[in-house]
Amino acid sequence: MTKNALLSIFFLSLFVFSANAQDYLWPVQGQKAGTDIIKTPQGYIDGEHNFAKLFIGGNSGDTIVSPVNGTVSDIAIIYNSSLKNNNTFNINSIENWNEAIERVKANQKDAGNIKPKFICGSITIITTEGTKVHISGLNGDFRFKTGEKITEGIPIGIMDYSYHKITEPSICVSVSSKDSKPIDPMTPFGLKTTFIKPGEAKPIKRLSKTDAKEDYTIYFRALQELYPTFNYLIPEEEQEDYLTKKLQMIDEKAKGDSIDYSDYRSILSQDNSRIHDSHLTRITPSWDNEMPDHQPGIFMGIVGDTMYCTTATKDYEYLIGQPFLEFNGYNADSARQKMYETINEYDANVEDYKKYGAATIRFGILFKPDSNFDAVVMLADSSVVTIKGHDFKKGYPDYRKDVFTFLMKRNPRKNLSMQMLNDSIAYLDIATFQLNEIEIDSIRNFINSIDTIPNFIIDVRYNTGGDIKVMQKIYSFLAGESMKLNGYNRVNKQGGFISFEHSLNYHPESNPFSDYLPHEGKNGYYQRNEDEYLINPDSLTNYKGRIYMLTNEHSTSAATALPGLLVRNHRGVTVGRETRTAYHYMTANKNSEIRLPHSQIVVHIPMVEIVFDTEVNDRVPYGRGVLPDYEVPLSLAEIWSEIPDTILSYTLGLIDRGEYINYDNPFVSPEVKAVSEVRIFRFKWYILGIVVLIIFIIIISYKKKQ
C-alpha cells in the first residue's frame, strides 16, 4: 500500500462524531451528519492532496438541501479539473441546472481534457456572518438568482458527480472566510475535523542571490508567457536585455551571497515605470507590511505644477498649504518623475491616476532609506526648514488638516445607492459591477421609476470594476441606438503554459483557452463573441433623458467600459477625470496567481486582452482612459474635502446651466457624415422652397383681394 493511501486511511480513521454543536444542517436530505463521507481534508484523492474539501457520497437522485440560512452569492456550471482548479461556465436565471449542464456539455463535446459526466452545478451561499459555503455536484430542475435569500433545509439540487477522480455520485462541500480563505468544512456539521489550518509564513529577511535571480526570472518569464500586452510595455526586442540588467541589479545590491529582502522588493518596484497595468498586481507576504517606527512630519503633494504641504503634525502646522521649491533636494519636476516610477496600477499612457499618486501619498519615495522620514524643504522665499519624522513612541501623529477622508473614499460602501436629488435630477451610485441579479433588478426598477425625469447622474468613481456582462446589462437600460463594436479577446496561447507550474489557481496541464483560434497574420489566439460586442437597448427599460456620468482616476475595468460605451454611442457626457483603465483595451479575466517560490511574492497576472473598440480619434486617443467631456482637475480644496463633493457639485452646475453634449459625434464615419451633410443640405433647400412658396401664395392671394 502506498504512503498516500495510508495517509488517506489514517485521516479517515480520525473521523468520529464530536461533542461540538452542529451549526450546519447536513446537506443530503434525510441523512444524519457524517453519513457516506468519501474524502475529508488532508487526505489524498488518487495521489492529489485534498487541503480543505469535504466529499459526500450517496445515490443519484438524492436531494441536496441548503445547510445554512443565507444569500446566493454565486451560481455556475463547473468542471473540477483538479482539487485546486476548475473550468467555470455561466448559467442564466432562466436555466435550471439540467438545462445549463446540457448546454455546456454540447459546447464542450470536443474538449478532450473535460469528461462531460463530471460537469455539474455549483452554488455559493453566504451567511449573515460573511462565511461562504460552496456546494458543487448538483443537477435537477432548480433555478436560482444571485442575491436571492435562501433558508436552511430548502432543496437546492439533486446529487450528481462532483469530481472526475471520484467515480460514484457525490457532492463537494467547502467553506471559506469573508476574505475567501479556506476554513474548516467539518466542525460546523458537528464532526471531529481533519482540517489543518495553514501556519503563518516564516518571515524572510534575506534571499540568496541564486534564489532571488530564479524568482525574478520566473516572474519575468510568466509575464512573457501569460500577459498578452507585455510587448506593449517592453518591446520584444528589448526584453532579454531588460532581464539581464535586472539580474545584474540583484548582484549589485547583494552583500556577499545574499540580498536583503527589502532590497529585492525594491528591484521589483522599480519595474513599475515599465510594467504597469490596472489589473496587474504584486502581493507581498503579510509579514512584509510591518508599520515603520516613524511617520512623516508633513505630507507633500504635487497639485498642478506645484509642490504643496497638504497636511502636517502640530509642530509644522504653519506649513500647511505652503508651496515648496524643493523637497529633500527634488524640485517639482524631478519629484514628479521619481514618484511616477513607483506607480503601477494604471494602463498604457493614462495620466490622472499618476497625478493622484503624486498629489497624495507617493512622496514617501523621496525620503532616504532609514531616514525616519526626516525631510528638508525649501519654501517659496528660498528659506530652508528641517522637518523631523514623528516617532510612534509619542503616539499616533496628530495631523492637523484632513486629507484622510479623501484618501479613504475607496473604503467599502453599499454596492448601489439610488435617490432623487431634486424633482429633475436622479442619482445612481454604482460602487462595483460585481452585482447580483436582485441588485440589477433594483436598478431596472429605479430607472423605470424615473422615466420622466430629465437628468440622470450615474456615478462610477471609485468603482474598480467587476462583471463585464453586468456592465453591459446596465448600459442596455441607457443605450440609444444599437451599436456594434469591432471588438475581440486575445490571448498568447491556448494552453501548455510552463508558468502554471508556479500557479496557485491553474493546474500545469490546464488548457483554459481551447475555444480561442489563431488569426491569419496576427500573433496570439482570438475569441470573437458577436453577442458581447453587439449592444442593444433593453426592450423593457430604456432611459431617454440626459445622462451625466461621473468618473475619476479610480474608475477601473468595467467602470471604464461603461462611460466608454456612453461616449461611443454619443449618449451622454462624462464629468470628472480620466479613468484608470485604457479605453481601447484592458487586460483582465482568467487571472493566474503566480507565487514566486523563494520570496513568496504572488503576482496576479491577467491573461486576456479585451478590446472593446478599435476606433481611434481625438475624443478617444489610443492608450488613454476615457477622457471627460467636462474636466474637474484635482485641487487642494478637493483633497481637503472643503467642498462636499467637487465633481458632483460641478455636475449640478452644468445641469443648472443646461450644459450637455456640446460637440459633433466623432464616431460617425466619413461616408455616413457625408450622406448626412447632403441630406441636411437638401433639407435646408426643401424648407427654403416651402417658405418661398408660402410667401408667393400669400402675395398672390393679397393681390387677388385687391
pLDDT, tens digit, 9 for 90 and up, residues 225-252:
999 999 999 999 999 999 999 999 999 9
Query: In percent, how much of the chain has pLDDT > 70?
Result: 91
Q: Rounded CA gap, 574 and 572, in Å?
A: 7
> Which neighbouring-strand residues pair with 490?
526, 609
The C-alpha cell at 213 is 535571480
The one-letter code for the residue type at 49 is H
Unique residue bearing C-alpha cell 486575445: 490
The cell numbers describing 302, all together, are: 504635487
Give the β-pairing of 206-208 and 54-57: unpaired
What pLDDT, on the 0 to 100 scale, is given for residue 642?
A: 84
CB 607 within 8 A of CB 228: yes
State the DSSP H helix or E strand holding residue 265, giving kind and residue range, or none if neither. Answer: helix 261-269
The tens digit of pLDDT for each residue in 103-144 reads 998 887 666 678 899 999 999 999 999 999 999 999 999 999
The pLDDT of residue 202: 79
Q: Name which residue leads in pLDDT, 200 or 591.
A: 591
For the stretch 303-359, pLDDT in tens is 999 999 999 999 999 999 999 999 999 999 999 999 999 898 999 999 999 999 999
Beta bridge partners of 525: 491, 518
Q: How many CB atoms lie within 10 A of CB 407?
A: 14
Residue 480, pLDDT above cutoff 60: yes
Instruction: Pick the more confident residue, 253 or 2.
Output: 253
Q: What is residue 14's predicted lDDT score, i.e. its pLDDT?
A: 38
Q: Using CA atoms, how far apart are residues 326 and 306, in angstroms rounded to an integer?
A: 10
Q: Are the CB atoms for 646 and 638 separated by under 8 Å?
A: yes
**Sign, CA torsion 474/592/275/524:** negative
Distance CA 78, CA 29 (A): 23
Query: Which residues on neighbouring strands pair with residue 381, listed in sequence order?
Result: none
The three three-digit cell numbers of residue 99, written as one number: 438545462
Does the structure show a pLDDT above 50 at 393? Answer: yes
Tell me the average pLDDT across 175-197: 92
Q: What is the DSSP letter of 669?
A: -
Q: Is 698 exposed, middle or buried (0-12, 13-18, 19+ CB in 10 A)?
A: exposed
| pLDDT band of 703, cuts 50, 70, 90 | low
Distance, CA of 588 to CA of 441 (rounded, Å) = 26
Name the pairing type of β-strands 48-49 and 54-57. unpaired
Work out the average pLDDT over 591-601. Answer: 93
Q: Is residue 698 very low, low, confident or very high in pLDDT (cuts 50, 70, 90)?
A: confident
pLDDT at 12 over 50: no
| Residue of 563, 567, 381, 363 lying closest to 463 (CA atoms) | 563
pLDDT at 280 over 60: yes
For the ranges 8-22, 319-333, 477-491, 499-513, the lowest mean pLDDT is seen at 8-22
Q: What is the mean pLDDT of the chain?
A: 89
Residue 6 has pLDDT above 60, yes or no: no
Average pLDDT over residues 90-105: 90
pLDDT at 1: 41
pLDDT surpassing 80 at residue 609: yes
The answer to whether the beta carbons of residues 646 and 635 sit under 8 Å apart is yes
The mean pLDDT of 555-578, rounded to a whole number, is 95
Mean pLDDT of 153-172: 96
Find the mean pLDDT for residues 568-595: 93
Lowest mean pLDDT among 15-29, 560-574, 594-608: 15-29
The arithmetic mean of pLDDT across residues 289-299, rounded, is: 84
Question: Residue 413 pLDDT > 90, yes or no?
Answer: no
The pair phi, psi for residue 323, each rounded to 5°, is -80, 150
- What per-residue confidence (pLDDT) applies to 671? 44
**Per-residue pLDDT at 66:** 97
When pLDDT is cut at 50, 70 and 90, the band that residue 261 belongs to is very high
Amino acid in the structure at residue 22: Q
**Average pLDDT of span 486-503:** 92
Higher pLDDT, 14 or 58: 58
Of 238, 261, 263, the C-alpha closest to 253 is 263
Q: How confident is the model at residue 360 (pLDDT cuts 50, 70, 90)?
A: very high
Q: Are 622 and 616 in contact (CB under 8 A)?
A: yes
Q: What residue type is 236 in one-letter code?
A: E
Strands 602-605 and 206-208: unpaired
| Residue 526 pLDDT exceeds 90 | yes
Give this prediction's pTM. 0.80
Position 10 pLDDT exceeds 90: no
Contact 537, 480 (CB under 8 A): yes
Which of 76-90, 291-305, 396-410 has the highest mean predicted lDDT (pLDDT)?
A: 291-305
Read off φ and ψ for residue 699, nearest 5 degrees: -65, -45
Q: Which residues of 562-599 are buried (b: 16+ CB within 10 A; e: fewer)?
A: bbbbbbbbbbbbbbbbbbbbbbbbbbbbbbbebebebb
Q: Of all residues in the chain, what percent carry a pLDDT higher than 90?
A: 69
Q: What is the mean pLDDT of residues 400-422?
A: 87
Let me know the angle formed at the C-alpha of 460 by 348 and 593, rounded to the nearest 5 degrees.
50
Rounded to a whole number, what is the distance in angstroms from the first to the last CA of the chain? 123
C-alpha cell, 700: 398672390
